[in-house]
Chain A
Amino acid sequence: MSELLQHAFNGLVNGSFYALLALGLSVIFGMLGVVNFAHGAFYMLGAFGAFILLSEANLGFWPALVIVPLVLGGLGMGLERVLVRRLVALDPLYNFLLTFGLTLILQDLLRMKYGSQAQPYPQPAGLGGSLNLGLFDYPAYQVFVLGFSVLVSLGAWLLLARTRIGMIVRAATERPELTRALGINVGRWISPVFGVGIALAGLSGVLAAPMRAVSPLMGADLIILVFAVVVIGGLGSIFGSVAAGFLIGMLQALGNVYVPGLATTSVFIVMAIVLLWRPAGLFGREETAV
């Protein structure tokens, strides 16, 4: 039994990455109507950012956790201003294609500079041991990742549900014209929100660096799983994305134990089932299904 719990816990840890990535993706979609294919590439940039900070500036994990998301967030805002904004008026598919192209560019640029080999990145000192969680031992770092992700998700929810800024963002998302008519400057929030979404992707990248191989293609297959996660959770729903992220993480972990070859396939099967039963996703709203 404790083994099962251990695996489930494992799944939650993996789900943290899905949750954070899905959160960022949802936030960007909610505000701009843009599905950011490059989200996986920014996750990769987050991990590389941590690596570069360590190898060039000798800054460890904790500074990286703060600096990298900020820098990437800024980069995201710049990207939105220069590129994404031009296509927002058109069919969202154009922006999807744009971000797809960006993904290819970013991945290849990193690959040309650093090669495809995984870069070394050590675990942060202080989180090296394991914790006794009652029923089983677990590496401290993984526990930290889970806890931190939950905190960030809660923070995002609080921000959106309880603050004035959040209220504006939500209003702008659901009724942009009406919000504008009420005199609120919606436009000035678009870039920052996009930046926050990207920053979240970068954050998960930094969290992943000690645990995963830091290579240019680390986000490539992951992004498609994240798409499945948001389809399952419901693209417009913040809560849905996060919940689905953790759920899918657990599904994969348990799948790895019981049906090793088909763990990832089962995620897509679940997606198919959800689409049949609830086209808007588990927590999505009906309009999004159209």
Chain B
Amino acid sequence: MRRNLIPAISALAVVSLLAACGGGAGGPSGGGGKISDDKIVLGVLNDQTGIYSELSGPNAVKAVQMAVDDFKAKHADDAVTKNIEVVVADHQNKPEIANTKAQEMYDRQKADIILDVPTSSAALAVAGVALAKKKLYINISGATTELTGDKCNKYTFHWAYDTYMLANGTGTTVTEAGAKKWYIVYPDYAFGQDMKKSFTAAIQAAGGQVVGEKASEFPNTSGDFSSQLLQAPAAKPDVLGTMHAGGELVNLVKQYNQFKLKDKGIALSVGLMFITDIHSLGPDALAGTKFTDAWYWNFDKQNRDWADKFKEKTGSRPSFAHAANYSAAMNYLEAVQAAGTDASDDVVKNLEGKEINDVFLRHGKVRAEDHSVIHDVYLAEVKPKSEVKEDYDYEKILTTIPADKAFKPLSENTCKMG
């Protein structure tokens, strides 16, 4: 008798314990108001502890908080509401967790908008949730052009950069600067293939030629890129373009240096590079490498001032993602202020077509057709260690690529907003 009953009762006890931890958010879901739940909740969903934690991570949350504080200070008593909250969740760069967390943020924590979301797969997952829940989503750290292409929707905005901009920026400018023959190495998955395609198109449009391309297995378990690198010199390229990111980029650059390809006349160009990668590898490993950056903290006085404020709050220099999160949060709040409500449709209407100039967006515009936010971007070169005067002072800005040239033109638009 007791054999089955007591375990069953202990199971009941365990479940009650779980329920207590479960947040008691059971039952069917409900509805909203003018300022829904009498507060604005900004949700930051990103990688808090993994490979993108330094790129955006916890400091992105601080950046968003800075925006909230600045908004409150600016509008004081005229603010549409003083109850503004920032909630955070970690998606660990996994689309399924992003999917779940986004639903939770919108439902459980009453988020009105979700920000950040690095990693393309997670970015796309959240876009689906945003559409289903009819709530706002401004993606900052994800790279995929599908957010403003095939997978676009009314509630999703893409704020900072995408693969097209990277490929176009780097591919075009490097080719125009004289490196006509490219050898492309890319990871064999969606992101890598997209980058390769975009780069090839940009290179060819600028009068260059892709003399060889090699895929590498993704994920690259052995960490070895020798096969791809060793085959490069035979094709006699001017530059090696790598579409790898994170740890794989680090591996590849280490091996690129080991095989002395630079001495063989093959320069290095990186499709996707963040200032945090330069920090990992050290500027000397990447010295001379050209890449496109969406924003650099030491570019001009306006950026530097904001970067100093950021440093006071966080102790380090901001990446483009931090600045973009600040900008997106601030502009969202301003849109709510202007619309008088946080109802998604009204805020979307306010944002569409807006031209914005702030610390992050120069000559910025929120395109109504695909919700891509275009702005000026920069071609940068990595400084050698000898020229680095202070922490994170790794980049030399070579040229500014104007907004209308940097991003995918509307003529190539594949977005059908429902």
Contacts and interface: CB of A to CB of B under 8 A. Distances in A.
Interface of A: 3, 6-7, 10, 13-14, 111-112, 115-120, 122-123, 129-130, 139, 141-142, 208, 210-213, 215, 217-218, 221-222, 225, 249, 252-253, 256-257, 260-264
Given A117-B279, A212-B223, A253-B224, 5 more contacts: A7-B230, A116-B51, A210-B254, A212-B251, A260-B188
B221 interface: yes
A115 B53 contact: yes
16 contacts: A3-B234, A6-B230, A13-B226, A116-B49, A116-B51, A117-B279, A118-B247, A120-B282, A123-B258, A142-B258, A210-B254, A249-B222, A253-B227, A256-B217, A260-B217, A262-B217
B247 A256 contact: no
Contacts, number: 106
Contacts of A122: 282
A139 B49 contact: no
B251 A213 contact: yes
B253 to A, nearest CB: 10
B215 A139 contact: no
B259 A130 contact: yes
Contact of A139 (B216, B231, B260): B260
Nearest to A212: B223
| 9 pairs of A and B residues whose beta carbons are closest in the complex | A213-B247, A118-B250, A213-B250, A256-B227, A116-B51, A212-B223, A139-B258, A116-B50, A221-B221
B280 A139 contact: no
A14 B224 contact: yes
Contacts of B54: 115, 117
Contacts of A257: 227, 231
A256 B231 CA distance: 12
Interface string B204-232: 00000000001111010111101110110
Interface of B: 49-51, 53-54, 188, 214-217, 219, 221-224, 226-228, 230-231, 234, 246-248, 250-251, 254-255, 257-260, 276, 279-282, 285
B259 A256 contact: no
B227 A7 contact: yes
A222 B221 CA distance: 6
B259 to A, nearest CB: 6
B223 A117 contact: no
B314 to A, nearest CB: 15
A112 B53 CA distance: 11
B375 to A, nearest CB: 27
Contact of B226 (A111, A120, A253, A261): A253
Contacts of A10: 224, 226-227, 230
A117 B216 contact: no
Given A256-B216, A261-B217, A111 B227 contact: no
Given A212-B223, A213-B223, A264 B217 contact: yes
Contacts of B246: 117-118
A142 B255 CA distance: 10
A222 B259 CA distance: 23
A225 B216 CA distance: 17
A209 B216 CA distance: 21
Contacts of A252: 222, 224
A120 B394 CA distance: 15
Contact of A212 (B214, B228, B254): B254
Contacts of A208: 223
A6 B259 CA distance: 12
Contacts of B260: 129-130, 139
A114 to B, nearest CB: 11
A99 B50 CA distance: 23
Nearest to A142: B258
B227 A141 contact: no
A211 B224 CA distance: 9
B259 A264 contact: no
B223 A218 contact: yes
Contact of A264 (B51, B221, B231, B281): B221
B228 A256 contact: yes
Nearest to A6: B230
A211 B188 contact: no
A215 B50 CA distance: 10
